[in-house]
A and B are shown apart, each in its own frame.
Chain A
Amino acid sequence: MASDTTLTPVTIPAAPIEARNAPISVVGPVAWARANLFSGPVSTAVTLALGYLIIRWAIGFIDWAFINAVWSVPNNQTQACRDARGVGACWAVVTEKHRFILFGTYPYEEHWRPALACVVFVGLYIVSAMRRFWRKELALIWIAALTTIGVLMWGGVLGMPYVAQERWGGLPITLILSTFGLAFAFPLAIMVALGRRSRMPAIKAICVLYVELIRGVPLISLLFMASVMFPLFLPEGMNIDKLLRAQIAIILFAGAYLAEVVRAGLQALPKGQYEAADALGLSYWNKTGFIILPQALRMVIPPLVNTFIGFFKDTSLVLIIGIFDLLTAGKTAIVEPAWQGFGVEVYITIGLIYFAFCFAMSKYSQSLETELNQHRRR
């Protein structure tokens, strides 16, 4: 019987059913809030309590930092600031002293020179961060930039009056100590890291001793050593400037820590790479320069950047031996009786400067990490 029946055609509605939005309880901000802020009684209570505290503190902070703040005072008359004590910030201390905080005791009318030096520094950092510049010419850029900075800071040529090193101060000192420290510590670190993996026992022992000794003591002890012991080390009549002595201490300190980071990269490289290079009959330096280091360094770039951030912060320790970096300049700015007691405002300002540099570096390191690990992701 089935063969007799003919199939009646079914008419299909011409217009397909409109896609409906997912219900509001599944997508959208309400659903997001339910899942991430109010997912249970405990979570809800925590969110509400934290929200209340944040709003209260935010209002208090805005009142203090902006609404009740004193932004400027006429020639060092800090009475307005003293009246606002406790309710409003005294940003006038920053307005008044910002040139001193940034450039220290550098001659006032020459301040454009350290300012330009800082710009060159930042430009140098940006260029070094771009991957398209990662080749040998980068070393030339560094030499050119550092020479320019030296000329700008010292002067004595091109109609710029000579400024002695004792008068330098503020942000340029911080940037000089960290950048020059890095530029010299990095090659040192590579040599030490290679030495620590060397098969020659004497060289290995020297490198191990250096790294462990430096890493076992605080930076301050090295800085003290630089400030009080270095003069005893040198022959009579020969004198090294205090800034340079601190710079040497920072280089020695950074070298040991960077060496450990580089060594981690050398160890992480598969043994096959070393063996393949040996099999090709490359000499030690060819093997190291063309095969090992390019791969090993690439692997440790993110931890290297993190170490750089650490050194950038650690240069502030020169305050203890009385070198005029950014932090010392800020601390000195509030020594004057008229401005005493406004340290919080100054430290917040300096903190923002440090934060800007470190935050940029740390974000850069994170993005680099994802970029360099792309081939590993599936």
Chain B
Amino acid sequence: MSDATVDPRFKRTAPRRPMKLSWSDERVRAIFWQVLVVGIIVAIIWWLVSNTQRNLEVRRIATGFGFLQREAGLPIAEHLIDYSPTDNYLRALIVGVLNTLKVAIVGIFLATIFGTLIGIARLSRNWLVAKIAGIYVEVIRDLPLLLQLLFWYTILQGLPGPRQAMNPIDGVFLSNRGLLLPWIQWEGAHTAALLAAVIGGVLTWMYSRLMRARQMADGQPRRVWPLGLLLVLGLPVATWALLGAPFKPDVPSLQGFNFRGGMLMSPEYFALLVGLVTYTSGFIAEIVRAGIQSVQHGQWEAAQALGLKPGVVLKQIVLPQALRVIVPPMTSQYLNITKNSSLAVAIGYQDIVSIANTTLNQTGQAIEGIAIIMAVYLSISLSISLFMNWYNSKIALVER
């Protein structure tokens, strides 16, 4: 309970009574209980810590994070930064964190799109569409994620080998080695173009804020999209062209017993991504549906009666109200994807849990290994929470 709602008059009329050393004084009781509970907890922790210290001495297990500088010697199949088994544990763990982020970020992105589509489909006026979406949500949410991951992984492993790979579209191969997609040979110019797109996006955002401020001042709506399009698309294309417009397609092809070229999604990563996205989109669909349904019908009708176009009704009237209901539970789903990505260890995708687990098995330093896992997830969870809370406060209803 916050004190903000307390009437100031009550504060004035309640003089502080002197504390009596008696059981009937509420403050004495409060202090007694707090001292008791804290004392018990401290005693338990002290007992556990002293046990642990003795056990560590008896078993001659080293403590501290010195092992991070030692050579890891553990092979990691997928790494976003350069890595070889001769690198130290610290680098191996960073590779693990990046792998976790890789699957979590892509998963959050895809699950949001997919879940929103299914949530809207559940409200479709077409009975068949609504029914299929409903069945999907019900079935997906009632099966354990781990079971689904193992299921997808088994299916991917059961696919034919590279020589009989499924080839639905030219340049796309699906085999037991994973999914191969055509890509381009990445060069500095592409990185620069990507950077330019980000800068263009930021500039567009600033421009639209400026235009909005001017509109607030004189009431004249202004077009943002022509310059925005130029900044977001034109700037990167221009950068890319200036740097010589390199473009070499990297289409995978079968050579001998394996593929060459292209971008490979390993079966482990692919199964984890498919499992996480299908599972979480079932939950997101329900959140989106509830959010849309929470906007009363009268809001649609009133907006239409004002003569607003359907697109404007959705953007200016319905979405802002629905988002207020959607964002808080969506935050916990994003946190869930991140935490659930730890199930990667069951199908052999080397995320932070998998690598930290190998580390603690190799070094025997269980406490440090688990502390690392927990610290990584706590900081990821905290960052997502902070960002989503900021976003939520931005869209929250401004009350008087």
A residues at B contact (CB < 8 Å): 36-37, 39, 43, 46-47, 50-51, 54, 197, 199-203, 206, 213, 215-221, 224-225, 228-229, 231-236, 309, 313-314, 316-317, 319-320, 327, 331, 341, 343-344, 347-348, 350-351, 354-355, 358-359, 362
Assembled-state Cα–Cα distance A317/B142 (Å): 15
Contact B147 A327 (CB under 8 A): yes
Cα of A238 to Cα of B296 in the assembled complex, Å = 61
Q: Given A233-B52, A316-B146, A347-B150, are A217 and B374 also a contact pair (CB < 8 Å)?
A: yes
Q: Is the CB of B345 within 8 A of A229?
A: no
Question: In whole Å, how far is A220's beta carbon from the nearest beta carbon of chain B?
Answer: 5
> Is B19 engaged at the interface, CB distance under 8 Å to the other chain?
no
Identify B126's interface contact among A39, A229, A234, A309, CB under 8 A.
Answer: A39
> Residues of B contacting A362 with CB < 8 Å?
138, 141-142
B-chain residues with CB within 8 Å of residue A331 when the two chains form the complex = 150
Q: List 8 A-B contacts (CB under 8 A).
A: A197-B1, A213-B378, A220-B343, A228-B366, A233-B51, A319-B346, A327-B144, A344-B151
State which of B139, B340, B342 has its C-beta within 8 Å of the C-beta of A221.
Answer: B342
Total residues of chain B contacting the partner, CB 8 A: 53
Residues of A within 8 A of B132 (CB): 50, 54
A317 B150 Cβ-Cβ under 8 A = no
Interface presence of B30 (CB below 8 A): yes
Q: How far is the CB of B271 from chain A (nearest CB, A)?
A: 12
A-side contacts of B378, CB under 8 Å: 213, 216-217
Nearest chain B CB to A253 CB, angstrom units: 11
Compute how far the CA of A314 lies from the CA of B139 in the bound complex, rounded to whole angstroms. Answer: 16
Interface residues of B (CB under 8 A from A): 1, 30, 33-34, 37-38, 41, 48, 51-52, 54-56, 58, 125-129, 132, 138-139, 141-147, 150-151, 154-155, 158, 339-340, 342-343, 345-346, 353, 357, 360, 366-367, 369-370, 373-374, 377-378, 381-382
- B126 x A36 contact (CB < 8 A): yes
Min Cβ gap A137→B in Å is 31
Query: CB-CB < 8 A to B127: which residues of A?
Result: 36-37
B34 close to A203 (CB less than 8 A)? yes
CB–CB A47/B373 < 8 A: no
Bound state CA distance, A51 and B340, in angstroms? Answer: 34
> Which of chain B's residues have a CB closer than 8 A to the CB of A234?
51, 55
Using A39-B126, A43-B125, A202-B37 as known contacts, say yes or no to A236 and B151 having CB atoms under 8 A apart: no
Check if B128 sits within 8 Å of A37, measured CB to CB.
yes
Which residues of A are found within 8 Å of B357, using beta-carbon distances? 224
Q: B387 to chain A: closest CB distance in Å?
A: 15
- Known pairs A39-B125, A313-B144; list 12 more (Cβ under 8 Å): A36-B127, A218-B339, A220-B353, A221-B342, A232-B51, A232-B366, A235-B54, A347-B150, A351-B151, A354-B142, A355-B142, A358-B142
Contact between chains at B55 and A347 (CB < 8 Å): no
Report the bound CA distance from A354 to B339 in whole Å: 22
The interface residues of chain A, by DSSP majority, are classed as helix
A348 and B144 alpha carbons, distance in the complex (Å)? 12
Knowing A235-B51, A351-B147, A358-B143 are in contact, say whether A217-B34 is a contact too (CB < 8 A). Answer: no
A50: which B residues are within 8 A, CB to CB?
A: 128-129, 132
Q: How far is the CB of A44 from the nearest CB of chain B, in Å?
A: 9
Contacts of B30 in A (CB 8 A): 199-200
Whole-angstrom distance from the CB of A93 to the nearest CB of chain B?
12
Contact of A218 among B58, B141, B151, B377 (CB under 8 A): B377
Q: Considering residues B147, B150, B155, which has the most beta carbons from chain A within 10 angstroms of its beta carbon?
A: B147
Please indicate which of the listed interface residues A36, A50, A201 has the most CB atoms of chain B within 10 Å of its own CB.
A36
Contact call B366/A229, Cβ cutoff below 8 A = yes
CB–CB B33/A203 < 8 A? yes
The reply to whether A236 and B144 form a contact with Cβ atoms under 8 Å apart is no
CA distance A228 to B125 in the complex (A): 53
Smallest CB-CB A-B distances: 8 pairs:
A343-B154, A358-B142, A36-B127, A313-B144, A218-B339, A202-B34, A218-B342, A316-B144
- Closest B-chain residue to A44, C-beta based? B126
How far is B377's CA from A216's CA once the two chains are assembled, in angstroms? 7
Option from A202, A216, A235 in Cβ contact (under 8 Å) with B381: A216
Chain A neighbourhood of B125, CB < 8 A: 36, 39, 43
Residues of chain A within 8 A (CB-CB) of B41 are 206
Report B-chain residues with C-beta under 8 Å of the C-beta of A309.
141-142
Tell me whether A344 and B147 are in contact in the complex, defined as CB-CB below 8 angstroms, given that A46-B126, A218-B377 are known contacts.
no
User: Which chain A positions have C-beta within 8 A of B150?
Assistant: 327, 331, 343, 347
